Amino acid sequence: MTDEFTTDIYYDDDADVSTLDDDTVAVLGYGSQGHAHALNLHESDIDVVVGLRENSSSRSAAEADGLTVTTPADAVSQASYVSVLVPDTVQPAVYENAIEPNLEAGDTLQFAHGLNIHYNQIQPPEGVDVTMVAPKSPGHLVRRNYENDEGTPGLLAIYQDESGDAQERALAYAKGIGCTRAGVIETTFREEVESDLFGEQAVLCGGVTSLVKHGYETLVDAGYSPEIAYFECLNELKLIVDLMYEGGHAEMWDSVSDTAEYGGLSRGDRIVDENVRENMEETLEEIQNGEFTREWILENQSGRPSYTQLRQAEKNHEIEEVGERLRELFAWAEESNESESAEGA
Ligand code: NAD
Ligand code: MG
Ligand code: MG
Ligand code: MG
Ligand code: MG
């Protein structure tokens, strides 16, 4: 950790929604985060206008929810606070076409993820505040928590403070969407982006699926049945993670048998060893030096050829077919069909 990484946490008492009384907030996009932010802000008595393309299928949903909808360009010109909630890969084009021409000095430009600012894909003009309020949760939970008078933890970062009020305004927004009810952690664009990419690549999405596949393949290759391998290496993972989520590693170790605890403690570091650690450091370096993001931008510019291939290979893995069959046969399947997508990891 360097001095650049701060850890202040803000709650409801640190924020005042009326800070945005004279503002109109443009919410661009009405997907996972967009719909949640727009509706929560609206119900927090903040003026909201939703910006969507003429042919967007989200238009009717936003209108049915009682919100004012216009084009992204018009929303930005009406607004003094612009929340960019279209997918990260389309943000640079939306910025160029709809946002930049309509931004005025004194406006706030806000993101829920710092990728395009941190890697200079969007270069905001002087005179504009640039902030981030990033709920650490999929949008559907941001909305549901708000409706249940609960909060969603979030991150807050200031990239450019031209008004001198960037922090106060971003905190008002965070309160408007319900984040300060749970707690908002102060961070930087750099820390949010690099840690988010690292987490999803090394541990959450990439690391864990790879661990599961290697475990599954090791058992099946040794002659164990695919069904047993699926339960041991994938299905039970949820039970273990739930315990870790509730009470850290300690609660998990407490809850499993002594045999499992001794086996896990004595063998875990053999499986995920120093080589894995070195691979993690290399992965982090590619994030820090921009190599990953350059690759991802080129991948999108060339029509996503590798992405398509990797997706297909993942779909074709035997564990997917076994899982689909088992989820149809067992009662936990219904529950898993209702669970939220966790795209925001
Ligand atoms: P999404 O894919 O769910 O929704 C995107 C919305 O943008 C849709 O309403 C779509 O109609 C609209 N859109 C798509 N292309 C467009 C275009 N060219 N012009 C105008 N509108 C367009 O997006 P999301 O997952 O809510 O992500 C939005 C932002 O929130 C991203 O920066 C993302 O990193 C961040 N974020 C997402 C999550 C999450 O859980 N999904 C969590 C934290 C942060
Ligand atoms: Mg404006
Ligand atoms: Mg077991
Ligand atoms: Mg056991
Ligand atoms: Mg992410």
Span 132-149, pLDDT tens digits: 999 999 999 999 999 999
Mutate to test the pocket of ligand 1, among 37, 59, 85 (most ligand atoms within 8 A of CB): 85
User: Which pLDDT does position 330 carry in this prediction?
Assistant: 84
pLDDT of res. 334 = 58
CA distance 112 to 115: 9
Question: What residue segments make up the domains of the chain, in order of their start?
Answer: 9-187, 196-338
Rounded to an integer, what distance in angstroms lies between the CA atom of residue 278 and that of residue 94? 38
Distance from C-alpha of 38 to C-alpha of 128, rounded to nearest angstrom: 21
Give the Å distance between the CA of 113 and the centre of ligand 5.
8
Other residues' Cβ atoms within 10 Å of the Cβ of residue 128 = 20
Tens-digit pLDDT profile for residues 162-197: 999 999 999 999 999 999 999 999 999 999 999 999
Alpha helices in the chain (DSSP H): 32-43, 59-64, 72-78, 91-94, 115-118, 139-147, 166-176, 179-182, 189-198, 206-221, 226-230, 236-255, 258-271, 274-288, 291-301, 305-316, 318-329, 332-338
Rounded CA-CA distance 161/147 in Å is 32
Question: pLDDT tens, 261-289?
Answer: 999 999 999 999 999 999 999 999 999 99
Measure the CA–CA gap between 260 and 83, rounded to whole angstroms. Answer: 48
Q: Report whether 236 contacts 264 (CB < 8 A).
A: no
For the chain, list residues with pLDDT below 50: 1-3, 338-345
Binding positions for Mg(2+) are 196, 200, 232, 236
Nearest atom within ligand 1 for CA of residue 56? 11
Residue 15, classed as helix, strand or coil, is coil
DSSP letters along 45-96, please?
A: T-EEEEE--TT-TTHHHHHHTT-EEE-HHHHHHH-SEEEE-S-TTTHHHHII
Q: Indicate the SS3 state at residue 126.
A: coil
| Residue 335 confidence (pLDDT) | 57
**Radius of gyration of the chain measured on its C-alpha atoms:** 22
Number of alpha carbons in the 13 Å side-chain half-sphere of residue 82: 34
Q: Report pLDDT for 344.
A: 45
- Homologous superfamily assigned to 9-187: NAD(P)-binding Rossmann-like Domain (3.40.50.720)
pLDDT, one tens digit per residue, over 10-25 is 999 999 999 999 999 9
For residue 186, list its beta bridge partners. Answer: 156
Residues recognised as catalytic? 113
Structure token digits, residue 21: 């009384």
Q: End-to-end distance of the chain based on CA atoms, in angstroms? A: 22
Q: Is 188 in the pocket of ligand 1 (CB under 6 A)?
A: no
- Output the CA 273–ligand 3 centroid distance in Å: 22
Q: DSSP letters of 251-281? A: HHHHHS-HHHHHHHHHHHHHHS-HHHHHHHH
Distance 177 CA to ligand 4 centre (A): 42
User: Is any atom of ligand 1 closer than 6 Å to the C-beta of 58?
Assistant: yes
**Binding site listing for NADP(+):** 30-33, 53, 56, 58, 139
Geometric angle at alpha carbon 309, from 306 and 313, rounded to 5°: 140
